[in-house]
Structures are given as C-alpha cells and as structure tokens.
Amino acid sequence: MIRAFLAVLVAVTALSADAVRVLQSNAAGDNIHVIDPVTNKVVGIIEDIEVPHGVAISPDGRRIYVTDEGLTTLDVVDAKTLKVFKRIPLSGRPNNVDVAKDGSHVYVGIRQAPGAVDVIDAASLTNVKSVPVKGEIHNVYVTPDGKWAVAGSIAASTINVIDTATNTLAWTLTLSAGIRPMAFTKNADGSTKEIIVQLSNFHGFAVVDFADRREIRRVTLPDPPGHEKETQGLQGSPSHGLAITPDGKMLWATSKYYDFVAAYSIPDFKLLKVVEVGLHPEWLTITPDGKSLYVAVAGIDSTVVIDNRTMKIVKTIPVGSVPKRNASGMLRMD
C-alpha cells in the first residue's frame, strides 16, 4: 500500500515539474504528440486542433501556440493541461508561427492571398495587427536576437523582414524560387549574420548575407551512389527542413529525394555526415541542450531521434498521421 502510494506521488511530482518537451504536429491528423526527450517516449497528446500546421512554445513555457488551418485560428494551449483554452481569429488561412523572444507577441504567417503576418498580443490574446508583405506566407521565424520576424513566400519567392520593435516591414529580398524553411547564423555579438534558406525545386540550401541583403552561396545536398531518387509527393520541395545546433557549429538539412538528413559544419558548410531516416523527412528540431535532433518523417508516421555527438539514430518514435512541423523547449507544468 505504501509502495503504491509512493509510486503515485513520484509520478505526480514528475508531471508537475518543469521539463523539456518535443512537440510533433501531425499534418493529416487533429493532434500533436508530446515527447519526453529523456525517455524518447510520447507522454501526452494535444487533441482537438483541426489540421494543425505550425507549433511554438512561449518563452516562459506556459503556453503552446498552434496554427489551426481548419478553423483559421491561432489555438492557445495550456502547457500543464495540454488543453486548448483560446482560439484567436486570424486574417486568413495560417501556416507557420513563431514567438517574440520576450514572449510579448506571436507572429503568424498567412498563406491566403494576398498574404500577411498577423501579430498577436500575448497579454490580451488578441490579433492586434496584420502586417502587409509581398506574397502569401508559408513560414515565419523570429531571429535569435529577437529583432526581426522573417517571413518567406513560396508564391512570390520573397523573404520579408519585419522589425519587431515597430511590427512594420523593413525590407524584402526576392530570390529565384519559392522560400521554404529557414534558419539563422549569428555574428559574435549575437546579431543575425546569415539566413540559411531552402528553395522550391532545389535539393539543398542557399545562404543569404543578412546585412548585405543578397544571396552569397548555394550548397547542393549529395546524391548517394546507388540510391534511387524519390520524386512522388515532394510538393515542389526536395529539401524541406533545417536546424542549427545551439552552439551554432552544425547545420542539419533534410533530403526528401533520398530520405536522409545531412550534417554540415558552420561556417564553412562542409559535409560531415549523411544519415538515412526513412521516407519523406520534413521538419527538424534540436533540444535546447543540443544533444538530440528530432526528425519528422512524414512517410513512416514517426519522429526519428539522432544523437548529435555520434550522428547515429537512437530511437524511432511512432506518432500521428503525416508528422511535419515540430518544436522543442521547456514547458512549465506548475
């Protein structure tokens, strides 16, 4: 009896403590799986979100923000209960989402024409502004220094840079193809150095000098000898997923052509390792401690875990239907 009571007490204590979690959205489902990176097991499921697209965690860890394509809302989830407690109407059908570094605002990419970035006030949980941009927005990211929200358009091939101090469009750069996932390198002072960007119908990534506002390099992912190229279901994106380790020394990129993820050193972008993960790897996230890479593998309904030190797969975690966008961070459960 005492032993059973103690076991329950330990379980409750573990659930109430702050903990790092990996969130895996399922593009063909209505839920998001919550993964414990210590055990690499699913420890919770966020339900009742029709066609979840992007997912982000507030800096204080108390909220999870999810774009809901079915309802055209930003759904706000309590991190402790994993229940939706607010749905915020948006100006159009949303795609991805990110949060200001101070937690004050949430930025939502609007994919519906003519395109915009909706700005959500996190205190009042209201949509306070819709920033006009050039083209419908697929992905939006807040830079590591928090000064810019960078939004990419597939249709217009534009990178739109929003000043987060004023929530106004600062500048726009047009590239040769649609803008897919992005990541950022930093200068020594923490300011944004480069935008790493994947492009429609390009098996690799481009490098954009942030200060000069121009593309400076392209890197093509390898074509492994003896491997047949996968061409079905790519949605115009043979490479769709980027993540940089917290120390800024390594970049991971996905290949949907050949079902692998590839590691590159930064700043020279030298190929370090290719790891086969399964059919159609999509989004990537790295835990805050930098130990593990989580790969959403849409074609096998699983999230694959790679050890960043050994660059080997350590676990394949079954999740929901067609997993795509993911995120990781600390959740507050008190």
Residue linked to tokens 């699913």: 42
pLDDT, tens digit, for every residue of 190-204? Answer: 999 999 999 999 999
32 contacts 22 by C-beta, under 8 angstroms:
no
Token readout for 234 is 């790519």
On whether residue 60 sits in a domain, the answer given is yes
Q: So what's the pLDDT on residue 2?
A: 38
On whether residue 289 sits in a domain, the answer given is no
- The structure's pTM equals 0.94
Residues of the chain with pLDDT under 70: 1-17
On whether residue 36 sits in a domain, the answer given is no
CATH of the domain at 134: 2.130.10.10
On whether residue 4 sits in a domain, the answer given is no
On whether residue 47 sits in a domain, the answer given is no
Q: So what's the pLDDT on residue 12?
A: 37
Q: So what's the pLDDT on residue 13?
A: 37
Cβ neighbors of 101 (< 8 A, separation 6 or more) are 59, 142, 145, 146
On whether residue 14 sits in a domain, the answer given is no
pLDDT, tens digit, for every residue of 141-162? Answer: 999 999 999 999 999 999 999 9
Residue linked to tokens 């890197």: 219
**CA 208, CA 181: separation in Å to the nearest integer?**
13
**CA 279, CA 256: separation in Å to the nearest integer?**
7
The total domain count for the chain is: 1
Q: Which domain holds residue 129?
A: 52-281+308-315
On whether residue 18 sits in a domain, the answer given is no
On whether residue 108 sits in a domain, the answer given is yes
Cβ neighbors of 2 (< 8 A, separation 6 or more) are none
